């Protein structure tokens, strides 16, 4: 990265507001400043101490074997059972009557599951998998909505040493098929349907289509959730018939710390999904440690709610494995935030007394657009800490989250990590850090991180570049399933001494870290690298703007031109004047080089059901191409509306 580009990045996102923890919060916090000193003094000893918060049947003899870098082995020689650590040990310690899961279905059905009940159901499911011929090392594809059986199925696989591959239940039959085929899955676990926006949506037919083309699958285990009529095949088995008749007793087997736990597919630049492989001991160590410290979990009193889906890594690490290892009581909600009304989340928080909330910036910005009156109509005083995950959060959304949802009293932990990292890497310790709105602040204790230039040289404060991880960490991926060379080429080829995260970042003058998004979300305008996140933050800081998405479109003069898609808070009358004002506003906030070439006023943005904005579809519109595959969108009709709304746009004058 040239000096000129470093200067460009360094001038972005100046934020001087700081919010330290209150003395009362700091005094009771799990995470203390001494953790940083401890990890700095003896990093491997620090991780060994975290690992020993788990129950090991056989103690490990070596903390880290990095002799075959970049393939790590953590807690060498140790043996444990993941499901035992997440369930059984809490029952044996006398906490069987504590509620583990407070399930809330979208139609309003509710169910509390204690740790004793969870142990029984996981044991039954493990016995059922064994009856179906699933053994340690076999792959099981899980394609389920956000219902308790999703968690139970994952833990049952872990209990018997099977490797699960959870596929988001919003994916198409073809996406499911490709993942089944790549993992050579023996069993698929699904449901007849799922509740979505007040309707029962079919799931089973997509599984049928995928499995018809997947000869490795021997059985399909089907949860009856909606009562939707389904086509039945000889391979199909009802969950309630098979699992319901099993014994509630099951003796878990201890597996080596490096035993594969799950494969989770993420998108790759080649178009072929990458099967990210995670193992057991190191993964659970870091997932549970970060959950306890970053969320300041108090298992006796907290009610935790992570709003993610188990189809994503956030659901693996911060709904299933990390929280349950820490003996959490947590809410799991099946449906959407606007069913039956747009205050559903706030109603859930009020009724369940949620104390810890972990959600995505996209959701926060959506709630901003819907209005303050919705959360203000509910008592949210139970909340004591808020978290953010999935993408960089702009300062305006951060402040709204703090003021409107957190009542100006809750610390906010903005977290950076990836499917590949397995667990949080960068986040504030809430009892230690004075947080800046929009910043993930610094690497957690035990994590090595740097911002480097294009030669791989670490940069100092006030500089922008590439985010890299400088030391192996316990929950790191152990490769790409079936393709170790792709693992090396994707993550370790640019700088062999570093793991390259694929993200740009800057360190401000105080050393706080600011994520600038994927490097492929950095636009090159007249030789200047400008982050889409920066321009989006500038647009959303305008009082008329509810949400914004920015892409770089080919430009014969500047290389790329900035095209912005904007949702307004109010009416679209006098849009022409407002568009001009917005373009000038960005120029004032960032600099003339960041002034959008074009601003389009839209009613909605193309989002997947998990809330991720599909910018590639917006880029198709911006570059006047046929719009690509939109089957994963929550509402595929959005792209037609956007394309028809081009008349509302304004180009450079």
Write the pLDDT tens digit of every residue in 313-332: 999 999 999 999 999 999 99
Question: Going by DSSP bridges, is the β-strand pair 449-452/464-469 parallel, antiparallel, or unpaired?
Answer: antiparallel
What pLDDT shows up at residue 4?
Answer: 35
Kindly indicate the confidence band of residue 411, based on its pLDDT and cuts at 50, 70 and 90.
Answer: very high
Residue with the two structure tokens 């910018």: 615
A 10 A CB-CB count for 589 gives 18
Residue 641, number of CB atoms within 10 A of its CB: 13
* Cα separation, 166 vs 28, whole angstroms: 36
Across the chain, mean pLDDT equals: 91
Q: How many CA atoms lie less than 13 Å away from 81 in the CB half-sphere? A: 22
pLDDT value at residue 589: 79
Percent of the chain at pLDDT exceeding 70: 92
pLDDT digits over 100-121, tens only?
999 999 999 999 999 999 999 9
Q: Read off the pTM.
A: 0.85
Examine the pLDDT at 6 and tell me if it is beyond 60.
no
The secondary structure element, H or E, covering residue 518 is strand 513-518
Minimal CA–CA distance to 316: which of 146, 432, 194?
A: 146
Q: According to the model, what pLDDT value does residue 608 have?
A: 73
pLDDT at 628: 66
Give pLDDT, residue 501. Answer: 85
Predicted confidence (pLDDT) at residue 650 exceeds the cutoff of 50: no
Find out whether 103 and 111 touch, Cβ atoms under 8 Å. Answer: yes
Q: 611's torsion region: left (phi>0), alpha (psi -120 to 50) or beta?
A: left
- Rounded to whole angstroms, what are the CA distances from 469 to 420, 449, 472, 497? 12, 4, 8, 9
How does residue 636 score in pLDDT terms, banded at 50, 70 and 90? low
Q: What is the pLDDT of residue 254?
A: 98
d(Cα 337, Cα 349) in Å, to the nearest integer?
Answer: 12
Give how far Cα 154 sits from Cα of 187, 230, 263, 307, 419, Å: 13, 24, 12, 18, 17
Domains of the chain (ranges; CATH) run 3-223+232-243+253-505 (3.40.50.12780), 526-651 (3.30.300.30)
Q: Does pLDDT of 1 surpass 50?
A: no
Peptide bond just before 400 cis, omega within 30 deg: no
Indicate the SS3 state at residue 53: coil
Q: How far apart are CA 350 and CA 247, in angstroms?
A: 37
Read off the tokens for 203. Answer: 């799931």
Tell me, what's the pLDDT at 271? 53
The arithmetic mean of pLDDT across residues 49-71, rounded, is 98
Q: What is the pLDDT of residues 420-430, one digit of tens each?
A: 999 999 999 99
State the Cα–Cα distance between residues 163 and 161, nearest whole angstrom. Answer: 6
334, 280, 345, 286: which is closest to 310 by C-alpha? 334
Asked if 537 and 553 touch (Cβ cutoff 8 Å), the reply is no
* Per-position DSSP letters for 381-446, written without gaps between them: TT--EEEE-SSPPPHHHHHHIIIIISTTTS-EEE-B--TTT-S--B---TTT--B-TT--BSBPTT
Q: What is the C-alpha to C-alpha distance for residues 477 and 483, in angstroms, rounded to an integer?
A: 13
Angle, helix 204-212 to helix 173-183, in steps of 10 degrees: 50
Among left, alpha and beta (phi > 0; psi -120 to 50; other), residue 58 is: beta
Alpha carbons 370 and 208: distance in angstroms, whole number: 38
Least confident of 9-13, 145-149, 172-176: 9-13
The answer to whether 468 and 450 have CB atoms below 8 angstroms apart is yes
Rounded mean pLDDT, 321-349: 97
Confidence of residue 554 (pLDDT cuts 50, 70, 90): confident
198 sits in the region (left: phi over 0; alpha: psi -120 to 50; else beta) called: left
Q: Which two tokens mark 444?
A: 């957690």
Q: How many residues does the chain have?
A: 653
Structure tokens at 606: 């193309």
Residue 100's nearest CA partner among 88, 335, 109 is 88
Question: What is the C-alpha to C-alpha distance for residues 463 and 465, in angstroms, rounded to an integer?
Answer: 7
pLDDT of 38 above 60: yes
Residue 521 near residue 532 (C-beta atoms within 8 A) = yes
Provide the token pair at 35: 């953790």
Query: Residue 534 burial (CB < 10 Å; 0-12/13-18/19+)?
Result: buried
Alpha-carbon radius of gyration of the chain: 24
Cα–Cα distance for residue pair 591/398, rounded to 1 Å: 23
Structure token pair of residue 607: 């989002």
Q: Which two structure tokens, joined as six digits, stand for 307? A: 């709003």
């Amino acid at each position: 990265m040239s000096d000129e580009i470093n200067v460009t990045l360094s001038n972005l996102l100046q934020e001087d507001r700081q919010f330290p923890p209150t003395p009362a919060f700091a005094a009771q916090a799990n995470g203390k400043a001494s953790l940083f000193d401890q990890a700095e003094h003896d990093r491997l000893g620090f991780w060994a101490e975290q690992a020993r918060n788990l129950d090991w049947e056989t103690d490990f003899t070596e903390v880290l074997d990095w002799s075959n870098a970049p393939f790590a082995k953590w807690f060498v020689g140790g043996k444990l059972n993941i499901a035992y650590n997440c369930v059984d040990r809490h029952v044996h310690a006398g906490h069987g009557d504590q509620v583990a899961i407070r399930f809330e279905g979208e139609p309003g059905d509710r169910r509390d599951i204690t740790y004793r009940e969870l142990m029984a159901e996981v044991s039954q499911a493990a016995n059922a998998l064994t009856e179906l011929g699933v053994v340690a090392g076999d792959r099981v594809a899980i394609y389920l909505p956000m219902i308790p059986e999703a968690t139970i199925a994952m833990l049952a696989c872990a209990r018997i040493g099977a490797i699960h591959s959870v596929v988001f239940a919003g994916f198409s039959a073809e996406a499911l098929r490709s993942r089944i085929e790549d993992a050579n899955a023996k069993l698929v676990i699904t449901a007849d349907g799922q509740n979505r926006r007040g309707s029962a949506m079919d799931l089973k037919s997509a599984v049928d289509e995928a499995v018809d083309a997947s000869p490795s699958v021997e059985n399909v285990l089907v949860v009856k959730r909606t009562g939707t009529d389904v086509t039945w095949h000889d391979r199909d088995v009802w969950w309630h018939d098979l699992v319901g008749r099993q014994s509630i007793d099951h003796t878990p087997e201890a597996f080596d710390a490096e035993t594969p736990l799950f494969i989770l597919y993420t998108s790759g630049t080649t178009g072929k999904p990458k099967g990210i492989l995670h193992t057991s001991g190191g993964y659970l160590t870091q997932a549970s440690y970060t959950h306890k410290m970053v969320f300041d979990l108090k298992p006796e009193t907290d009610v935790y709610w992570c709003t993610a889906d188990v189809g994503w890594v956030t659901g693996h690490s911060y709904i299933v494995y990390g929280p349950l290892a820490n003996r959490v009581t947590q809410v799991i909600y099946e449906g959407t935030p606007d069913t039956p009304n747009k205050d559903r989340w706030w109603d859930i928080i009020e009724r369940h007394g949620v104390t810890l909330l972990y959600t995505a910036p996209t959701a926060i910005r959506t709630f901003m657009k819907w209005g303050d009156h919705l959360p203000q109509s509910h008592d949210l005083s139970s909340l004591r800490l808020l978290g953010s995950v999935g993408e960089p959060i702009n300062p305006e959304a951060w402040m709204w989250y703090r003021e409107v949802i957190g009542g100006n009293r809750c610390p906010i932990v903005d977290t950076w990590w990836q499917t590949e990292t397995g667990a949080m890497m960068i986040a504030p310790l809430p009892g230690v850090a004075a947080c800046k709105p929009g910043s993930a602040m610094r690497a957690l204790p035990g994590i090595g991180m740097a911002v480097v230039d294009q030669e791989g040289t670490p940069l100092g404060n006030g500089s922008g570049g590439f985010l890299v991880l400088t030391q192996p960490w316990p929950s790191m991926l152990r490769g790409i399933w079936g393709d170790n060379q792709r693992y090396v080429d994707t993550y370790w080829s640019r700088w062999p001494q570093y793991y390259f995260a694929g993200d740009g970042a800057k360190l401000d003058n105080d050393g706080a870290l600011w994520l600038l998004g994927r490097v492929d979300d950095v636009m090159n305008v007249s030789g200047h690298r400008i982050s889409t996140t920066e321009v989006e933050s500038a647009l959303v800081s305008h009082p008329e703007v509810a949400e914004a998405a920015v892409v770089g479109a080919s430009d014969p003069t500047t290389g790329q031109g900035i095209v912005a898609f904007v949702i307004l808070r109010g009416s679209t009358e006098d849009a022409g004047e407002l568009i001009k004002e917005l373009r000038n506003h960005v120029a004032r906030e960032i600099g003339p080089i960041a002034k959008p070439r074009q601003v389009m006023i839209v009613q909605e943005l193309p989002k997947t059901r998990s809330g991720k904005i599909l910018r590639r579809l917006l880029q198709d519109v911006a570059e006047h191409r046929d719009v690509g595959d939109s089957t994963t969108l929550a509402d595929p009709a959005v792209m037609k509306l956007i394309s028809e709304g081009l008349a509302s746009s304004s180009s450079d004058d």
